[in-house]
Structure 1
Amino acid sequence: MTRVLLAEDDAAISEPLARALRREGYDVDIREDGRSALEGGRETPDLLILDLGLPTMDGLEVCRTLRSEGYTVPVLILTARADEVDTVVGLDAGADDYVTKPFRLAELLARARALLRRSPPDLVSAPLVRIDPEARRAFFGAEELQLTAKEFDLLRVLVREQGKVVAREQLMREVWDTAWFGSTKTLDMHVSVLRRKLGDDASDPRFITTVRGVGFRFEAPDEG
């Protein structure tokens, strides 16, 4: 069942909206403050409907935090502030769409359906390794790998480009969102940790090979 997280502290809004969403066939979880909304967002619902004016942590901060941690859950903002500047700030924080209060229920449901129709990212896989970008989970055989956010992103890029050399510049740009200005010690450190978690022998790696002066290549050995 499609899971919708509704973060709204005004029961006069959240309760009828939750009923309408449930009539649409969605499983709805209501959160009444920003910190619990953030926790719920980390549980990767299919959609987050997020009020900006939440107690403990405002909706913008919730959205920014989720995006900075790599969560891709679609976010539909509810705001009582129709000013264009507030709208732009919300979208810059990583929101996918917004509805201003008071809103028409039919419009909000239509926008929610549009966000939910977006196709989730395809699974990325290689022999022995499987990555689910939407759930941000990676598996080595039947065992789930315990990865940090950057380790996950690095492995995702390498597996996606398996068999090809991925330049250091590309990895820095995609994983660290930064230009490469010479030092990539943090990249080397993360590759070293990934190798260890994959059981790679540094002197004879099965998975991640260093191509000197260029970057790294993810090999895909057969299970046997």
Structure 2
Amino acid sequence: MIEILLIEDDFDLAELLKYALAKSEIDVTIATNPLEGLKILNEKNTFDALVLDLGLPDMDGLEVCKKVRYGYPALPIVISSARTETLDKIKGFELGADDYMAKPYDPIELVFRIRSILRRGIQITSDSKTFCVDKQRRIVIKNKEEISLTKAEFDIFIYFYEKEGVVIPREDILINLGQSKFQSGLKSIDVAIGRLRQKIGDDSKNPRYIHPVRGIGYKFINA
């Protein structure tokens, strides 16, 4: 079931969208003002997408878009607005919106837009998998929670992620990621992986995700 947050001050429209999207197995949580919406998002950061009106009370929708993109960079944002000016659309995309739908529209189009964004943005994993990634935004997500990684840490993680289950020699990491990132060689790889382990919640003494292979390198398991 896809879960979305809908920030829309037109309650009748919001209820109509909620009813229509439920038929496509999309669960909708409604907030009729931006402050309520931001509060809900902070309390329940498990939504798959945000559908956002621009003409909102207390705070303009573009400002909400900016705040959400800053605080939740992995969350897809679809702007749903009666504003049709090109400048509003451009500003929305500049602030991080993934799509812009001009009202009125058929709710089934919103369904397809949401599903399309989710397909292309985040690599889908089965329910048994712990991690997924948004390669475009260089984001790692663990159980729907974003993990903040440095550029080097992300490069290591995505290399492991794409070679899940394969034993990777330390030398291969140096070659494929660029030795310039690890000036002191193989030892720096171990140090960087140690920091990565801490950030993804992996116990180095009893690893679940990044397993050392004695004398060779590492093996990643997306358990």
**Coarse TM-score class (shorter-chain normalised):** 0.5 to 0.7
Trace 1:114-133 onto structure 2 (pairs within 5 A).
Answer: 114-117=113-116, 118-119=118-119, 120-123=122-125, 130-133=130-133
Q: CA deviation at 1:220?
A: 1.0
For 2:160, the equivalent position in structure 1 comes to 159
The aligned amino acid for 1:111 is L
Distance 1:24 1:150 in 2: 35
For 1:83, the equivalent position in structure 2 comes to 85
Q: CA deviation at 1:56?
A: 4.9
The aligned length equals 182
State TM-score, norm by structure 1.
0.59
Distance 1:55 1:169 in 2: 51
For 2:4, the equivalent position in structure 1 comes to 4
> Which of 28, 31, 45 is matched with 1:43 structurally?
45
Query: Against the structure 1 CA distance between its residues 3 and 169, is the aligned structure 2 distance closer, same or farther, given a 3 Å change threshold?
Result: farther
Q: Which consecutive unaligned segments of at least 5 residues does structure 2 have?
A: 135-139, 183-189
Distance 1:44 1:112 in 2: 19
Judge conservation of contact 1:69–1:149 (CA < 8 Å) in 2.
no
> Which of 194, 198, 205 is matched with 2:202 structurally?
198
Trace 1:1-224 onto structure 2 (pairs within 5 A).
Answer: 1-38=1-38, 39-40=40-41, 43-69=45-71, 71-101=73-103, 103-104=104-105, 106=106, 108-117=107-116, 118-119=118-119, 120-123=122-125, 130-133=130-133, 136-137=141-142, 148-150=147-149, 154=154, 156-160=157-161, 163=168, 164-165=172-173, 166-167=177-178, 193-196=195-198, 197-200=201-204, 207=212, 219-220=218-219
Dislocated runs of 4+, deviation >4 Å: 168-171, 188-192, 205-208
Q: CA deviation at 1:110?
A: 1.2
Judge conservation of contact 1:46–1:116 (CA < 8 Å) in 2.
no
Query: Against the structure 1 CA distance between its residues 170 and 81, is the aligned structure 2 distance closer, same or farther, given a 3 Å change threshold?
Result: farther
The aligned amino acid for 1:94 is G
Q: Percent identity?
A: 26
Distance 1:25 1:3 in 2: 9
The aligned amino acid for 1:13 is L
- Higher helix share goes to which structure? 2
Judge conservation of contact 1:21–1:109 (CA < 8 Å) in 2.
yes
Judge conservation of contact 1:195–1:207 (CA < 8 Å) in 2.
no
Q: CA deviation at 1:32?
A: 2.0
State TM-score, norm by structure 2.
0.60
Distance 1:91 1:198 in 2: 36
